[in-house]
């Protein structure tokens, strides 16, 4: 199967989270939303995330949790620990999960991409 992953980058307050919410709202029963920036209450009651979308934080994220979903929205990359990022990468390798991740554009954006590359290349 062809991999379908997307990295959305932008400046702070440029609408990255809103893009994830719009996607999740199109597929509320099959999208898992991992957020370190916003609480479930804030996402659903203030930002308009559909009530049917399951929201977790990094401490709740597991491979098993993803088995009922086809998509994972991650908001946002810089807030994830290496451990959580490793769990996500391992999950991607073990499943057909589509992953959409937001990241803030920074002058040192290559450092973020290098971090991902180094984690992907580690053996599990």
Say if residues 79 and 102 touch (Cβ distance below 8 Å).
no
pLDDT tens digit sequence for 1-33: 456 788 888 888 899 999 999 999 999 999 999
Mean pLDDT on 84-111: 84
Task: Give the total number of structural domains in the chain.
Answer: 1
Structure tokens at 7: 């990295």
- What CATH code is carried by the domain that includes residue 33? 3.40.50.300
What's the whole-model pTM score?
Answer: 0.86
Residue 122 pLDDT > 70, yes or no? Answer: no
Domain that holds residue 41: 5-121
């Amino acid at each position: 199967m062809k991999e379908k992953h997307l990295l959305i980058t932008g400046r702070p307050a440029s609408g990255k989270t809103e893009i994830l919410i719009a996607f999740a709202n199109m597929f509320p029963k099959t999208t898992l939303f991992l957020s370190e920036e916003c609480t479930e209450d804030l996402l659903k009651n203030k930002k308009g995330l559909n009530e049917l979308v399951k929201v977790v934080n990094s401490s709740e994220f597991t491979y098993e949790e993803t088995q009922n979903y086809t998509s994972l929205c991650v908001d946002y990359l810089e807030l994830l620990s290496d451990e959580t990022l490793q769990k996500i990468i391992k999950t991607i390798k073990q499943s057909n999960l589509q992953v959409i991740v937001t990241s803030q554009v920074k002058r040192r954006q290559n450092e973020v991409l290098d971090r991902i590359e180094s984690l992907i290349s580690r053996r599990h």
